């Protein structure tokens, strides 16, 4: 499930690509979805500032990553899929929810909430990385997730405050590394798998490997 195209106003592209590579390697068939809604705002990524005069659609922008093969999130059902995965990027906190603005008081997009609850109820695995675990913490009860560490540690974990927000949302936060040694947390009871990804300032291959561990565990939980 994508949230646009670009780290600061949509899906983190490297995370989405890594997920797709690992799913392909794992033999999975993939269908991409995104909500057909306006973005919260558009960011000029060369400046890191809002482009005030622009407006974009989340589904249309997500189609860039999907190479055009994408459908509206309203069409995603548990009957058609064995698992669902959410990449990170600020789009998860801006377009799939209002977490970027409202923190623990955020609202989650109605279709996103439906999908998370439906897959959870059906006992089908849910994978999330980077900032997107906040979606599960908000929507699901007593869920265990990780966004990495709970302290910034000199800038290595610049978004460490998110761990506290997850606790305020009612979730349990589990400290995990981004590296291959301890790269993903598996909540076996809820079948939710999470990994920190770009919550950590580290080399790209570490993020790629951590996402691979998340995908591998999601596929394992499908039992196929």
Please report where in the chains the tokens 């959870």 appear, as a residue. 120
Is-catalytic flag, 130? yes
| CB-based contacts of 54, cutoff 8 Å, min separation 6 | 42
Question: Annotated catalytic residue: which of 5, 130, 174, 200?
Answer: 130
d(CA 18, CA 44): 24
Q: Which residues pair with 193 in a beta bridge?
A: 127, 186
d(CA 10, CA 62): 8
Task: Answer for the pair 193, 187: CB distance below 8 angstroms, yes or no.
Answer: yes
The beta strands (E) that lie in the chain are given as: 32-34, 43-44, 49-50, 70-72, 84-86, 126-129, 144-148, 172-175, 185-187, 192-195
Catalytic residues: 130
């Amino acid at each position: 499930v994508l949230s646009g195209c670009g780290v600061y106003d949509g899906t983190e592209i490297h995370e989405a690509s890594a997920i797709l590579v690992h799913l392909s390697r794992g033999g999975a068939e993939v269908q991409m979805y995104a909500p057909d809604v306006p973005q919260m705002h558009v960011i000029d990524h060369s400046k890191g500032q809002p482009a005030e005069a622009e407006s974009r659609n989340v589904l249309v922008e997500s189609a860039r990553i999907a190479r055009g093969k994408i459908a509206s999130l309203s069409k995603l059902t548990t009957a058609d899929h064995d698992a669902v995965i959410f990449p990170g990027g600020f789009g998860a906190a801006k377009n799939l929810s209002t977490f970027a603005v409202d923190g623990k008081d955020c609202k989650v997009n109605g279709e996103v909430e439906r999908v998370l609850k439906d897959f959870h109820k059906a006992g089908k695995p849910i994978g999330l990385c980077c900032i997107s675990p906040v979606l599960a913490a908000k929507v699901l009860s007593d869920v265990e997730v990780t966004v990495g560490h709970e302290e910034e540690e000199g800038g290595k974990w610049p978004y460490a405050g998110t761990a506290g927000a997850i606790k305020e949302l009612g979730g349990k936060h589990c400290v995990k590394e981004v590296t291959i040694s301890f790269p993903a947390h598996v909540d076996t009871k809820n079948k939710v798998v999470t990994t920190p990804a770009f919550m950590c300032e580290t080399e790209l291959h570490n993020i790629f490997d951590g996402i691979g561990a998340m995908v591998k565990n999601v596929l394992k939980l499908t039992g196929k």
